[in-house]
Structure 1
Amino acid sequence: MSGMEGPVLVVPGLNGSGPNHWQSWMEALIGARRVDQDDWTRPDIDLWSARVADAIVAQARPVWLVAHSFGCLASVVAVSRLADRIAGALLVAPASPDKFGITARIPDTPLPFPTVLAASRNDPWMKFMSAARWADRWGARLIDLGEAGHVNTESGHGAWPEGLELFRQLQASAPAMTGPLQD
C-alpha cells in the first residue's frame, strides 16, 4: 500500500493562486484544502508559516503539501517543527529566500519525509542552480521542468496534468501513513 491517503494542503505563494492557476485546478480536482493568508500581497515568513502550521495541526492524519513560490518557503519553515505530521511535499518553483531577506530563516537540512522540488530553468524568482542547491539541502528529488517560467498562470500553467502526475508519483513512492496521529 502506498501513502496516498491523507489530506492535501495547497499552499500558494505571493498574491495567492487565482482561479486559473494550476494549484486552484489541482485543489478542485483532488479535493484539497487551501491554506489562506490574511494578506496575499505581503509575504511574511512568520505569519505565513504559522498559518501553514495551524492548517497542518488541524488535520487528524499526516498531510500532503502542494506548495508554490513563497508558499514553499512558508511550508518548509512550518514543517521544521511538525515533520511527523507530513506525509510528503511537492514544492514547485520556490521563491528565492534572498529576494525576501529571509535566507537565514529557511531550514537547510534534509526534510524527513518524501519531497519533490520542481524547478524551471528560466524562473525569475529563483535561478535553477539555486533551486538545485535547496533541493540538495532538503533531500528533495529535483525535477527539471525546462523553461517553464515561474510555473504560474502567466507562464501558461493553468490545468497542469504533469504537475498532478508528479504529485501522484510522490504519493505512490511514500510509505503508508494512514492512521490518526497520536498526541
Structure 2
Amino acid sequence: MSEQRVLVLPGYLNSGPGHWQTRWEEQHARFTRVQMPDWIHADCDAWCEALESAVAKAAAAGGARVLLAAHSLGCLTVAHWVARYASAERLAQVAGALLVAPPDPHGPEFPAKARGFGPVPLVPLPFASIVVASSDDPYGSVPFSERCARAWGSRWIGIGARGHINAESGLGDWEEGREWLESMAA
C-alpha cells in the first residue's frame, strides 16, 4: 500500500459515522479531512479556497503528491478548483482523485443551501481520476456521471444500485473504493 497522503473531501453536511470516508480516516493516519468553512451553507468559492489551502499545507509537509478522495459535493469542488482556482504548482501536487457520486446541481434533490456549484466545469482534470456512480443515486444520474467522467478524462465505474454511495449504502470500509484510490498513487 502507498504511503501517499490523502485529502478527504466530504459532501454537503460532511460525512458522519459509518461513512466510508470517515472509516478510512479512522483507519489510516495519512488520510486527512479537508475542513470546510460551512457544511450547511456550502459555498463553492469557500470550499475551493479550503481545498487550495489543504493541498498547499500537504505539499509543505513534504513527501509525495497527494490523492483526493471526494464524495458528492466534494467532487464538484474538485472540478471547480481545477477549472477556476488552482495554481499550476498546486495541480502538480495532486497524483489522482477518486470522485464518488457527483451530484447534479440542476437536479431536483440538489441542496438549496449549496451555492455556486453549477454549472459543473466540464474540463479535463490534469491528474488521474476515477468517477464512481450508482444506478439509483437520487442526486446524480448515470448519464450525468458519465458525462462528467468523459469531460474530466476520468475512468467511469458503475457499482450498481447503491444509493448515494454513503453510510446508508452499506459499504462498510469499502476496500474496493480504497483500492481504486490507491491505483492512482503511481
C-alpha distance in 2 between matches for 1:95 and 1:57: 26
Please give the per-residue CA displacement for 1:116-173, whole angstroms capped at 9, x wherever unaligned.
00011110010011100000000000011111110001222332122112212232xx
Q: Is 1:65–1:90's contact at 8 Å kept on the other side of the alignment?
A: yes
C-alpha distance in 2 between matches for 1:79 and 1:53: 10
The answer to whether residue 28 in structure 2 is matched with residue 30 in structure 1 is yes
Question: What residue number does 1:73 align with?
Answer: 76
Question: What residue number does 1:44 align with?
Answer: 43
C-alpha distance in 2 between matches for 1:135 and 1:159: 24
Larger relative contact order (CA 8 Å, sep ≥ 6):
1
C-alpha distance in 1 between matches for 2:161 and 2:47: 28
Q: Is 2:135–2:160's contact at 8 Å kept on the other side of the alignment?
A: yes
1:160 is matched by which residue type in structure 2?
W
* Aligned-pair Cα RMSD in Å: 1.8
C-alpha distance in 2 between matches for 1:133 and 1:62: 27
> Secondary structure of 1:75's partner?
helix
The answer to whether residue 185 in structure 2 is matched with residue 166 in structure 1 is no
Q: Is 1:83–1:111's contact at 8 Å kept on the other side of the alignment?
A: no
C-alpha distance in 1 between matches for 2:126 and 2:135: 27
| Residues 124/141 of structure 1: CA separation in 2 closer, same or farther (3 Å cut) | same
Moved more, 154-163 or 141-150: 154-163
Question: What residue number does 1:152 align with?
Answer: 166
4+ runs of 1 displaced by more than 3 Å? 99-102
Give TM-score, length-normalised by structure 1. Answer: 0.85
Tell me how many residue pairs correspond in the alignment: 169
The answer to whether residue 9 in structure 2 is matched with residue 21 in structure 1 is no
The answer to whether residue 149 in structure 2 is matched with residue 135 in structure 1 is yes
Q: Is 1:79–1:86's contact at 8 Å kept on the other side of the alignment?
A: no
Q: Is 1:53–1:79's contact at 8 Å kept on the other side of the alignment?
A: no
TM-superposed CA distance for 1:5, in Å, is: 4.4
Pick from 69, 77, 86: which aligns with 2:94? 86
Q: Is 2:20–2:173's contact at 8 Å kept on the other side of the alignment?
A: yes
Question: What residue number does 1:126 align with?
Answer: 140
1:12 is matched by which residue type in structure 2?
P
Q: Is 2:101–2:133's contact at 8 Å kept on the other side of the alignment?
A: yes
> Secondary structure of 1:115's partner?
strand
C-alpha distance in 2 between matches for 1:165 and 1:83: 22
